[in-house]
Amino acid sequence: MDKKIKNLGKFYKIHIFILTVIIFCIPSRLLAQENSDKTTAAGFSTTKTSASQKSGAKQNIQMDAFSKEAVKGFADELYLQGFFDEAASEYRRFLFISNDFTPQNTENIEAISSLCSIYRLQNNKTGSQWLFNNFFKITSLPLQEQLVKLYSQLTFKERNSQDFSTLFTTAKPFIKDFSQELQFLLPFSTKILSQDINGAQKICREFSDNIEKSSLTKEIMNENLTKLINQCNSYKTKSPGLALFLSSIFPGAGRWYTGSLRGGFSSFIYVGSFTAGTVYSAIKFGWQDWRPYTFGTVAVCFYAAELYGAYKSAQRYNQYLYNAICEQTDAVYEEIY
């Protein structure tokens, strides 16, 4: 009986222990789970907020990267590092998003000036033409003069008469505000490219007269400009027709007329020798022999070659003078830029 009572007491103690564990453990487990859910939710919310902030910051960075100031600064850095193609692209993009070209807006003026320097280094006539066509009339001095200098220099270097004539027509209303060298070079270059030498000489005489009348303008007469004016004033062409006529009368005379002394002497020797051979063989062997006809045929060939050579010699002489004036004009453009 006592043993049963003891076993029953142990049974109740075990059940009481189990109930106690259930009562105290389950609520704490639920509370921990609830706290964990709250922490996860808070973490997700924080992560979401952080991601939103990062997205906004990234968007601000992108907005700043495409701002005028950022584009200009990037272009300047590329220019200083020597990446001229990339710098030119960024400068053009900067000018595209800008619309203020007043003298007070130094950033736009600096961008155009930097583009001028790049296109001059690259001899990029197309780029200089784009600058001139888009910004010449909406800018002011001294940037206008810089655009004209660049475009006129590269256009003249190409010997493009049509484009230079268009340039001069556009810039003519503003020419009185340019430097005296440019006031002389623009109409002078137009005449030279159209091969109107008389018109170019007239411009040189007028410019020289203005220089003599004014003591201030004598300072601009540098060595290259003085040499150019002297070349133009002393420009005298040789007539190809006259050279041909002289050589037809006296072989070699047409080449001597154009200054080709050695060529004229050689032609005289060849034509004269075979002509003399023709006469001598005809007297000695008669016209029935083959020798007079052989020497005569060779003499006629040399005579015809001399006529053609005299004509071309005059043309080459004239072209040499023209090229010399063009090259000297290039030197003046290079010096005044």
Q: What does the DSSP 8-state code read for residue 97?
A: S
Residue 142 preceded by cis peptide, ω within 30: yes
pLDDT per residue over 200-252, tens digit each?
A: 999 999 888 887 776 545 555 678 888 999 999 999 999 999 999 999 999 99
Does residue 51 lie in a domain region?
A: no
Q: Which DSSP string corresponds to 103-159? A: TT-HHHHHHHHHHHHHHHHHT-HHHHHHHHHHHTTTS-TTHHHHHHHHHHHHHHHTT
Q: What is the pLDDT of residue 4?
A: 42
Task: Specify whether the CB–CB gap between 220 and 181 falls below 8 A.
Answer: yes
Least Cα distance to 280 among 269, 300, 289 occurs for 289
Domain that holds residue 283: 240-336
Q: How far apart are CA 15 and CA 34, in angstroms?
A: 29
Which segments in the chain show pLDDT lower than 70? 1-66, 100-104, 214-221
Task: Specify whether the CB–CB gap between 212 and 279 falls below 8 A.
Answer: no
Does residue 245 lie in a domain region?
A: yes
pLDDT per residue over 290-322, tens digit each?
A: 888 898 999 999 999 999 999 999 999 999 999
Q: Is 160 exposed, middle or buried (0-12, 13-18, 19+ CB in 10 A)?
A: middle
Q: How far apart are CA 163 and CA 190, in angstroms?
A: 10
Q: 3-state class of 189 per DSSP?
A: helix
Task: Specify whether the CB–CB gap between 114 and 122 falls below 8 A.
Answer: no
Does residue 133 lie in a domain region?
A: no
Three-class DSSP labels, 35-68: HHHHHHHHHHHHHHHHHHHHHHHHHHHHHHHCCH
What global pTM score does this model have? 0.72
Q: What does the DSSP 8-state code read for residue 219?
A: G
Neighbours of 148 (CB within 10 A): 23
**Angle (nearest 5°) at CA 188 between 128 and 210:** 120
Q: Which residues make Cβ contacts (< 8 Å) with residue 239, sequence separation at least 6?
A: 314
Does residue 316 lie in a domain region?
A: yes
Does residue 296 lie in a domain region?
A: yes
Q: What is the pLDDT of residue 15?
A: 46
Q: What is the pLDDT of residue 102?
A: 67
Does residue 178 lie in a domain region?
A: no
Q: What is the pLDDT of residue 301?
A: 94
> How many domains does one find in the chain?
1
Name the residue type at position 333.
Answer: Y
Does residue 29 lie in a domain region?
A: no
Q: Which residues make Cβ contacts (< 8 Å) with residue 46, sequence separation at least 6?
A: none
Q: 3-state class of 236 per DSSP?
A: coil
Torsion of CA 154, 157, 162, 163, to 10 degrees: 0
Does residue 174 lie in a domain region?
A: no
Q: How far apart are CA 190 and CA 186, in angstroms?
A: 6
